[in-house]
């Protein structure tokens, strides 16, 4: 197509702007604002003169639903195109904006004397990046007031505005601009893992460690130590992966994303495998640094080590890649950019969507309260995850660790009313959210497992029957505290308590849905290996398949996720907003795939 050929040129040469109209785009209309400074942030005034930021502008596609329609076609097992995942070029065609959009946006930028050499196009033409924009110019472009803000708990400083506007003529062409009103910058992201200071002790001679490296026969019973602490042995038995031997390790890959300056330690992985899966030695993972990420192998993060140790031990010998994404302290500031203005998800998505080879399975264990993320921003990021799904990537997110909501649970919509607090990105309908369980024989819902219903995203068709069935049984309970028409999450679950993890050569005990996500990702990666080894396409976006195969999961029927001064939701037969469809059974899922 001519438009695609134009895009291919625009991605490598400066963008040419149209002649600016007159008057100069002065009909400004509000795009997004907060009623007050977001919770836990305080304003520290204007940044120094000369401060610059990079602006990302998400453009609306010419064909509004084309990407999502295509995503469902290649993800629905009943569709003739199931498994026919898209190329980068095909995705670019689907998300391309109308030619008038680039012309109008270009005229707007030119009107404000933004040089064409400062602009590039990414993600198939759906995003513009404007580099080194002085804050005075950004304020004029967006009717904004950028200031420096400090997070009162982490002491991190960022540059943001509590409101911004766009010319009225651009509202139908521009989805969002970042960074603007999204205050969920790196250290405000919530880690979904916690070292358990009051967990089971591990004295010298503990049988968990004495017997951890033993190799059990595939049909052997679950070790009794799994009643106390979780090791790879426990998970491989619980989820029936013991007997499967990966065959497609030259093609199949599993990716783990890391933020907040997190990186994983190879030496800790080696000790972990020595203790808990000696047959996987000498497994190694690849470390990829994104946007100034860290990988110095000193003082690794608990989150990073947890993720890579369990993903690797379940999926071995599948190659694992850890992505350390920068944008957090230590941040190398200069006199023009004294504070952090990065958007963590966008930094990583910019990188991964530009790669020729992307892991077939990707796990992430970070999230924000959905209400702290501007809806236009959330929708734009969610659509980038949809791009990954359409290209055959299974994207999993830990659901969070605050039940139905933490703290006072007051909404920030101006009413200050008590509401359940959903978590983003798990609330995005184009990712697979993983909740948490505990105990064995049977498993029950972990009481911290976040789950509920999105206030931004409507209920997708793939979960219509399952969610309606749950809501019918729920009746009027918790009425008014959640959006019954929203996307329900999590989709599935896995063990989340008392995981043994090696950090700085010491065994610690960790809990949280950060344990669940890499565990589930390991199982999914094995399923992808099975398909690829048969010459078939990987799973890609998982949810349409999973909701059609609920009996391939271990249904979790007890437990609840209290929060917001309530008992939250209760687990029950079928899908529920604590454990989703349940925990995976590899052999049943393998059989369902045929």
The answer as to whether 493 is a domain residue is: yes
Q: Which of 183, 210, 243 is the last residue of a domain?
A: 183
Query: How many structural domains compose the chain?
Result: 2
Of 107, 380, 511, 514, catalytic: 514
- Residue 479: active-site member: no
Counting residues of the chain whose pLDDT is more than 90, the rounded percentage is 74
Say yes or no: 126 and 27 in one domain.
Answer: yes
Rounded CA separation 275/315 (Å): 17
Given a contact cutoff of 8 angstroms between Cβ atoms, the answer to whether 552 and 585 are in contact is: yes
- DSSP-based three-state secondary structure for 257: strand
Which pair of tokens denotes residue 80?
């003739």
**pLDDT classification of 592: cutoffs 50, 70, 90:** very high
The answer as to whether 195 is a domain residue is: no
Given a contact cutoff of 8 angstroms between Cβ atoms, the answer to whether 189 and 366 are in contact is: yes
C-alpha angle 586-591-594 in degrees, rounded to nearest 5: 130
Rounded CA separation 34/429 (Å): 25
Say yes or no: 179 and 236 in one domain.
Answer: no
Radius of gyration (C-alpha) of the chain in whole angstroms: 24
DSSP bridge pairs for 166: 29
Q: In the chain, what are the helix, strand and coil shares in percent, each to the nearest 5?
A: 30, 20, 45
Say yes or no: 282 and 402 in one domain.
Answer: yes
Quote the pLDDT of residue 208: 53
Query: Which tens digits make up the pLDDT trace of 30-83?
Result: 999 999 999 889 999 999 988 999 999 999 999 999 999 999 999 999 999 999
**Model-level pTM?**
0.91
Quote the pLDDT of residue 37: 92
Least confident interval from 172-186, 351-365, 374-388, 494-508: 172-186
Say yes or no: 105 and 236 in one domain.
Answer: no
pLDDT at 334 over 50: no
Say yes or no: 510 and 433 in one domain.
Answer: yes
Report, as an integer, the average pLDDT of 548-575. 97
**pLDDT classification of 4: cutoffs 50, 70, 90:** very low
Q: Which of 156, 183, 210 is the last residue of a domain?
A: 183
CATH number at residue 319: 3.40.50.200
The answer as to whether 323 is a domain residue is: yes
Rounded CA separation 513/510 (Å): 10
Rounded CA separation 523/492 (Å): 12
Query: Which tens digits make up the pLDDT trace of 528-547?
Result: 999 999 999 999 999 999 99
Which pair of tokens denotes residue 91?
């995705």
Instruction: Classify residue 579 by its DSSP letter.
Output: T
Rounded CA separation 71/461 (Å): 13
Say yes or no: 417 and 298 in one domain.
Answer: yes
Quote the pLDDT of residue 118: 94
Query: CA torsion angle for 520, 369, 476, 484 (degrees, to 10)?
Result: -80
pLDDT at 333 over 80: no
Query: Which tens digits make up the pLDDT trace of 350-370?
Result: 999 999 999 999 999 988 899
Report, as an integer, the average pLDDT of 379-393. 97
Report, as an integer, the average pLDDT of 257-273. 92
Say yes or no: 239 and 300 in one domain.
Answer: yes
Say yes or no: 254 and 145 in one domain.
Answer: no
Of 156, 233, 262, 307, catalytic: 307
Say yes or no: 242 and 300 in one domain.
Answer: yes
Quote the pLDDT of residue 195: 67
Say yes or no: 35 and 162 in one domain.
Answer: yes
The answer as to whether 498 is a domain residue is: yes
Least confident interval from 215-224, 344-353, 471-480, 491-500: 215-224
Domain that holds residue 431: 226-332+392-593
Query: Which tens digits make up the pLDDT trace of 108-155?
Result: 999 999 998 999 988 778 999 999 999 999 999 999 999 999 988 878
The answer as to whether 470 is a domain residue is: yes
Say yes or no: 510 and 421 in one domain.
Answer: yes
Query: Which tens digits make up the pLDDT trace of 10-34?
Result: 433 344 444 444 456 889 999 999 9
**pLDDT classification of 198: cutoffs 50, 70, 90:** low
Rounded CA separation 421/402 (Å): 9
Report, as an integer, the average pLDDT of 223-252. 95
Of 303, 369, 370, 376, catalytic: 303
Q: Binding site for Ca(2+): which residues?
A: 555-556, 574, 576
C-alpha angle 508-510-511 in degrees, rounded to nearest 5: 165
Quote the pLDDT of residue 394: 98
Helices 66-75 and 88-95, packing angle to 10 deg: 140
The answer as to whether 124 is a domain residue is: yes
Given a contact cutoff of 8 angstroms between Cβ atoms, the answer to whether 60 and 97 are in contact is: yes
Q: Which of 183, 202, 234 is the last residue of a domain?
A: 183
Q: Are strands 394-398 and 432-438 parallel, antiparallel or unpaired?
A: parallel
Query: CA torsion angle for 528, 365, 339, 141 (degrees, to 10)?
Result: 70
Half-sphere exposure of 43 toward its Cβ, with a 13 Å CA cutoff?
Answer: 11
Least confident interval from 196-210, 493-507, 514-528: 196-210
The answer as to whether 57 is a domain residue is: yes
Q: What is the mean pLDDT of the chain?
A: 88
Tell me the backbone φ, ψ of residue 369, rounded to 5 degrees.
-60, 130
Which pair of tokens denotes residue 483?
């959006």
The answer as to whether 504 is a domain residue is: yes
Say yes or no: 287 and 421 in one domain.
Answer: yes
Quote the pLDDT of residue 197: 58
Q: Is 580 exposed, middle or buried (0-12, 13-18, 19+ CB in 10 A)?
A: buried
């Amino acid at each position: 197509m001519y438009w695609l050929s134009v895009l291919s040129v625009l991605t490598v040469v400066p963008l040419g702007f149209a002649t600016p109209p007159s008057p100069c785009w002065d009909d400004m209309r509000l795009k997004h604002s907060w009623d007050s400074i977001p919770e836990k942030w305080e304003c520290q005034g204007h940044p120094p003169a000369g401060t610059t930021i990079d602006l990302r502008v998400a453009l609306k596609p010419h064909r509004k639903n084309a990407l999502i329609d295509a995503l469902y076609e290649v993800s629905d097992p009943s569709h003739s195109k199931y498994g026919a995942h898209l190329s980068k070029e095909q995705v670019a065609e689907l998300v391309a904006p109308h030619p008038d959009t680039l012309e109008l946006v270009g005229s707007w930028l030119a009107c404000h004397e933004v040089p064409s050499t400062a602009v590039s196009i990414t993600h198939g033409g759906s995003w513009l990046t404007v580099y080194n924009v002085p804050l005075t110019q950004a304020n004029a472009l967006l009717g904004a007031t950028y200031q420096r803000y400090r997070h009162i708990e982490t002491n991190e400083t960022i540059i943001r505005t509590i409101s911004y506007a766009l010319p009225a003529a651009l509202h139908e062409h521009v989805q969002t601009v970042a960074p603007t009103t999204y205050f969920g910058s790196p250290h405000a992201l919530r880690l979904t893992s916690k070292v358990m200071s009051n967990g089971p002790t591990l004295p010298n001679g503990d049988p968990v460690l004495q017997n951890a490296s033993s190799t059990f026969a595939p049909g052997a019973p679950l070790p009794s130590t799994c009643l106390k602490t979780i090791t790879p042995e426990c998970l491989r038995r619980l989820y029936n992966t013991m007997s499967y031997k990966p065959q497609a390790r030259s093609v199949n890959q599993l990716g783990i994303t890391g933020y907040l300056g997190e990186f994983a330690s190879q030496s800790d992985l080696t000790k972990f495998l020595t203790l808990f899966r000696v047959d996987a030695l000498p497994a190694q993972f690849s470390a990829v640094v994104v946007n100034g990420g860290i990988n110095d192998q000193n003082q690794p993060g608990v989150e990073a080590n947890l993720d890579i140790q369990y993903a690797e031990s379940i999926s071995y010998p599948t190659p694992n890649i850890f992505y350390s994404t920068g944008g957090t302290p230590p941040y190398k500031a200069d006199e023009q950019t004294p504070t952090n203005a990065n958007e963590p998800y966008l930094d990583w998505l910019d990188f991964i969507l530009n790669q020729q080879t992307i892991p077939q399975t990707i796990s992430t264990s970070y999230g924000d309260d959905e209400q702290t993320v501007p809806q236009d921003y959330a929708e734009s990021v969610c659509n980038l995850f949809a791009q990954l799904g359409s290209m055959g990537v299974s994207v999993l997110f830990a659901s969070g660790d605050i039940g139905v909501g933490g703290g006072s649970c007051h909404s920030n919509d101006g009413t200050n009313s008590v509401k359940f607090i959903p978590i983003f990105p798990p609330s995005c309908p184009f990712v697979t959210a993983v909740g948490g369980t505990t105990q064995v024989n049977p498993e029950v819902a972990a009481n911290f497992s976040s789950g509920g219903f999105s206030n931004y995203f409507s209920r997708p068709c793939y979960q219509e029957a399952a969610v309606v069935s749950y809501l019918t049984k729920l009746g009027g309970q918790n009425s008014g505290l959640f959006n019954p028409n929203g996307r329900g999450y999590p989709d599935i679950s896995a063990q989340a308590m008392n995981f043994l993890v090696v950090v700085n050569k010491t065994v610690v005990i960790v809990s949280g849905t950060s344990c669940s996500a890499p565990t589930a990702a390991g199982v999914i990666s094995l399923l992808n290996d099975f398909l690829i080894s048969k010459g078939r396409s990987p799973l890609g976006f998982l949810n349409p398949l999973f909701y059609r195969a609920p009996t391939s999961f271990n249904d979790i029927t007890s437990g609840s996720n209290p929060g917001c001064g309530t008992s939250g939701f209760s687990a029950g037969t079928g899908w529920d907003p604590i454990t989703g469809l349940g925990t995976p059974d590899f052999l049943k899922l393998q059989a369902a795939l045929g």
